[in-house]
Structure 1
Amino acid sequence: MLAQTDFIFDAVRPKDSYISMHKHNCFELVYYQSGSGISKVGPIEYRYSPHTYAIIRPGTQHDERRFEETDVLCVGFRVDDTHRLPTLYEGLFKDDNKHTLEGILGIMKEEMQEKKPLYAVKLDLCISEALVEHMRNVETLDPARQEDNLMFAINYMDEHYNEIIRVETLSAMAGYSYHHFRHLFKQKFGVSPITYIMNKRIENAIRMLRYTDKSITSIAMNSGFSNDAQFCSIFKREVGESPRSYRIRYQENSLNK
């Protein structure tokens, strides 16, 4: 078997409740059957929603803050290192459309409650099957499905580039680990997610410099920069001149045509 079960339990967590930072000596899978909130896994915050689940590695500090009443199902497990498995990344992931993982965890919950003969063996079989389904879902998606997940992230970035966007949030939306998302994104679009967002902000700033009389500060804020100093620095680095110089040159060229 690929893994052995250490513990399993389900709980209903009240709205606005909080579990402080803690860690386990084993892997933990936390499946969110309902509700919404934020779980911080190590230094990264993830926003969970129904039918998402967190994978947390042994020794990683994590907490959980609920915005709504949340049904959770938690499984602690250990991985058999003798099997050559893909790296089990931690992060927040999405179950497939059939909620396959939720179904397997439901069987585990029943086994734990009923304790039929050989239930411990059944639990280990189920968590091993759950890991296989997770790896299939995350690491070996067919190209068409990868395309859909990445386009979901791209569409969000196109609409919200002028807001604060965290790559951790994008990877959770797409259903990938942080590192796997960055790898797939750059492989598909040729730039990192951060560079893509920055390019969208520069493009918007260029449009506003050309076609509006808004101040530099206003353009910086409307394009997603934290202040005009940051905007001017990045704009000059990417475009080769300051926003003010760019606007003057564009206006002069337009008059001379």
Structure 2
Amino acid sequence: MSRQRWVMDLGNTRLKIAPLDLDGRVGEAIALEHRGADLAALAARLPPRMEVAYLASVADEGLRVALLDLLAARCQRISLARTQRRWGELRIAYADPARLGVDRFLAMIAAHDHARGTHPGTPVLVCGVGTALTLDLIDAEARHVGGRIAPSPTLMRQALNQQVAQLPPSGGRYVDFAVDTPDALVSGCVGAALGLIERSLADAQTRLGAAPILYLHGGGGEELRALLRQARWSPRLVLDGLAQWAAIEKPA
């Protein structure tokens, strides 16, 4: 269809896009790798005509502008999502909301909304695993307590490989105690991420007096999903939050 509304999440590695149905729900999403990719090849995979594109971007300015140029040729309107101090009940802890990544903001919107519908009054810990690993805690009163940022397991592997070439940037499997280097790298890097998440869950329970619901999303979340059995796997969390933005956002 030529007149559709689309939500788009431009991260540091991938562009995730999905259509919105007539009720504002997110349809089937696809992820397009853009790191090192030819923008012409990326353009060929975008819808040829769109009524509105709702875009959330944490990518560098050059890539964001390049994507906006591609969208301008095929969209009637483009709307850029931005972090706000308040969204409904949700209140952001940052003194300057613009310094909080819009992907984290949108993921919190969606996670809080889902938890409110299933477990009202329960704190939420949102964990995104992309280039970075991010954690954001929301208390039972919908106040954003704050967050943490660390390298993702993938970025840890890449950084080690750049400094020590004989350490492979990929391969191996997670085990408790590895007996070869690829497995030891996976176990160490994934184990570091698990340790931060589990410590954050424990700190949240101590601070708030209740165990938070853990929401896990992001391209690197699949690697951690099986090891965090209590986590609610929500791969479209940012797009779901962007759909909520789209439902309320008005044209300028």
TM-score by length of 1: 0.25
Greater C-alpha Rg: 1
Determine which structure has the larger helix proportion and give its number: 1
TM-score by length of 2: 0.25
